[in-house]
A and B are shown apart, each in its own frame.
Chain A
Amino acid sequence: MINLNIDGINVSVPKGSTILQAAKEVGINVPTLCYHPDQSVKANCRVCVCEVEGYGLLQAACSTPAAEGMLVKTRTPKVIEARKTILELILANHPQDCLNCARNLNCELQTLAEEYFIRDIPFELRTRGYEKDISTFSIVRDPDKCILCNRCIEVCSVTQSVYALGTENRGHNAIVVPTMGKSLLDSPCVMCGQCIHACPVGAITEYEQLDEFFAALNDPNQVVVTQIAPAVRVAIAEEIGMRSGELPMDVFVAGLRQVGFDYVLHTNFTADLTIMEEGHELLDRLNNNGTLPMVTSCSPGWINFCETFYPDLLDNLSTCKSPQQMFGSLAKTYWAEKMDIDPASIYSVSIMPCTAKKYEASRPEMQDSGYQDVDLVLTTREIGRLFRMSGINFKKLAGANFDSWMGAYTGAGVIFGATGGVMEAALRTVYEVVTETELEDVNFTAVRGMEGIKEAEVDLNGTVVKVAVAHGLSNARQMMEEVKAGESPYHFIEVMACPGGCIGGGGQPITKTNADREVRIEAIYVEDENCEIRKSHDNPEVKTIYEEFLIKPLGDKSHDLLHTHYKAKNKKYL
């Protein structure tokens, strides 16, 4: 252990710890901006500088190793003055339009400016004058707001292995750009939106579409229908001043009715349906020498990734549409018929934890209902904004039920929101379908949790099925390299583009650390435990849709409405 003294307090930390970590140990908060607890140390913003005895210059706490006998002072007038100057210099290049920024009140730079009572900036304001990049209509980059911390580059390259972002030029001309300095759409960007969480300021946000929602509400001829993705309910609470998971589902539903949705349905219903289709697809591939391993297809960031980097392995992807798109095609066919509503008048809005879902809904092939299957995708954050401006007091709002035919769901649908959830839900159903015996314990805990790659084996009447779960695209890449080399030992792989699964999606409330994601995962499994029905094939409305409409999994109707195909992206530069 290393013994040092910070602000008069003795502290012992393991060798290799930094001053920042040591300070945290004894409850001293050193401000940071480029530092991210789940990333490598960058030490480029300098806002964490401290005085260290024996050093002539101030030292960055995030990068300076703690040393035996070190005397550190983190809050002397000299330190405060230096930090203020650093902040003023950063702000001299940062647009001063906090009031109309998507990250207003949720910005690390703004918070520090407040803490360090920045009043008059002695430097001339000089912004770079770059245009916003809205080319993907999913993610918006505003390079003028960038403070060059490089956190987005690291998450895009190290965590996601997408490498869509890099640095152009050097010194005060340096700027973060997509590949070859082109638009995000031309880069290998998969629209997962992890860069949004990594960004300390408002330089990367989702493409905001609340105005389109209001226009639909305003149109008396439109019936506005919504679906809520499994991961949204736990996290939306964070947008309205509650803890993860604290907003009960029925109150959430009531809130959505309050803000104007005519019908509130559930993506969990089509998550259960996905399990029916995908489970049978797996069995079909196992029994008929189909392409294996089969890889899940719920995550549109992952689909973009596979189409971009592994165009030769598209046959490994399940042909099942994502739950969002299954919902989209059924809402304007099956549900419209059930409700006797003209499908042309249905405006289908999905509420998603995801930025890539915006792109997925706009894919030209997603019109199997005869209309645009999903008209609008709003993120959890956008619904948060909608709720805040609505003035609803959720503590006093009485709960409400989902609407019929596509609103019932099971615990299996709920856990789609967490990494391993699709796999666990599939195993619950596949096991019972194949063995015709009831599971004693529906919990497949081996596939849960934040470990990057998880694996399990299930004995299906003597056939041992090997499964794996990967989340975060660098882990997915590792899985796919094995598949490419013909060395994958698995039959079935679940991939989620975002670390932690959809609960950590690019459209979720800004997530500072992986630890925040674990809190949401816990809330997901609590919800699953509380569900009376926890297996997709037991969902009563799923039974009804197969009896009345789809007839059987992988049948003709399913083929037309619930399955899709993929094509290589052929990006020019990777």
Chain B
Amino acid sequence: MDYKAIIAKYRDTTGGILEAFNAVQKELSYLPEEVIAEAARIFNIPAAEAYGVATFYSMYSVEARGKNVIRICESAPCHIAGADEVIAALERELGILMGESTVDGLFALEFTECVGQCQATPVITINGEPFFDVTAAKVPGILAKFQK
């Protein structure tokens, strides 16, 4: 992946470093050091500052992680609706714990704050796409769509 070309596209955009990080992360699922360093160069800021931006937003990861990022809401409404069982099912199906990535590099499991879909709890998102009224039983079916 030519991350340099992706970053360069946003050179003249105000706040372009965020756009560039979004675009790269869409491809790689995380922001490697050389991407942060290249962004610092293109946007003419110190690497320490670019790294600050990359770690400020919890949606960015500076550590390698699975391609499909699954986020489970850890706020109260989802918790009451049985998020724990969904978490257990995800961990079981993927064979990893929360905060980890699968060995094949396909999935990462993360927590998120409320995603604003409390009418259909528990909620999970995969690559930003929400899945509603998730139950342990629905988990294998949802994952199957991403397992290719």
**Do A and B interact?**
yes
B58 touching A574, Cβ below 8 Å: no
* A residues less than 8 Å from B47 (CB atoms): 163, 179-180, 573-574
Chain B interface category by residue count: 10 to 19
Interface string of B14-49 (1 = CB under 8 A from A): 000000000000000000010011001000001111
Q: How many inter-chain residue pairs (CB < 8 Å) link A and B?
A: 50
Q: Is A187 an interface position by the 8 A CB rule?
A: yes
A230 beta carbon closer than 8 Å to chain B: no
Q: Given that A168-B55, A169-B55, A169-B56 are contacting pairs, would A163 and B49 also be in contact in the complex, using a CB cutoff of 8 Å?
A: yes
Q: How far is B45's CA from A163's CA once the two chains are assembled, in angstroms?
A: 9
A contact residues around B56 at 8 Å (CB): 167, 169-170
A573 and B33: CB pair below 8 A? yes
How many angstroms between the C-alpha atoms of A572 and B51 in the bound complex?
A: 14
Identify whether the interface residues of B are mostly helix, strand, loop, or mixed.
helix
Q: Which residues of B contact A170 (CB under 8 A)?
A: 55-58
B128 at the interface (CB under 8 A from A): no
The A contact surface, by secondary structure, is mixed
CB distance from B56 to the nearest CB of A (A): 5
B48 touches A166 (CB 8 A): yes
Do A165 and B55 contact each other (CB < 8 Å), given the known contacts A180-B33, A573-B37? no
Whether A179 pairs with B48 at a CB distance below 8 angstroms is yes
Is A300 close to B, CB under 8 A? no
Q: Nearest chain B CB to A526's CB is how many angstroms away?
A: 40
Identify the closest chain B residue to A168 (Cβ).
B55
Say yes or no: is B52 at the interface (Cβ < 8 Å to chain A). Answer: yes
A157 vs B46: C-alpha distance when bound (angstroms)? 9
Residues of chain A in range 133-169 having any CB-CB distance to chain B below 8 Å = 157, 163-169
- Is there contact, CB below 8 Å, between B58 and A166? no
Considering the chains assembled together, what is the distance between the CA atoms of A179 and B47 in angstroms?
Answer: 6
Interface members, chain A 352-407 (any B CB < 8 Å): none
Q: Which chain A residues in 333-353 approach chain B with CB under 8 Å? A: none
Q: Given A167-B52, A168-B51, are A180 and B46 neighbors across the interface (CB < 8 Å)?
A: no
Q: Write out the residue numbers on chain B whose beta carbons fall within 8 Å of the beta carbon of A573.
A: 33, 37, 40, 47-48
Task: Give the interface centre of B48, B49, B52, B56 by most chain A CB atoms within 10 Å.
Answer: B48
**Across-interface contacts of B49 in A (CB, < 8 A):** 163, 166
How far is B36's CA from A157's CA once the two chains are assembled, in angstroms? 18
Q: A169-B56, A170-B56, A170-B58 are in contact. Are A574 and B51 (CB under 8 A)?
A: no
Q: Which of B36, B57, B58 contacts A180 (CB 8 A)?
A: B36
> Using a CB–CB distance below 8 Å, which chain B residues touch chain A?
33, 36-37, 40, 46-49, 51-52, 55-58, 62
Q: Which 6 A-B pairs have the closest CB atoms?
A: A163-B46, A166-B48, A573-B47, A179-B48, A166-B52, A168-B55
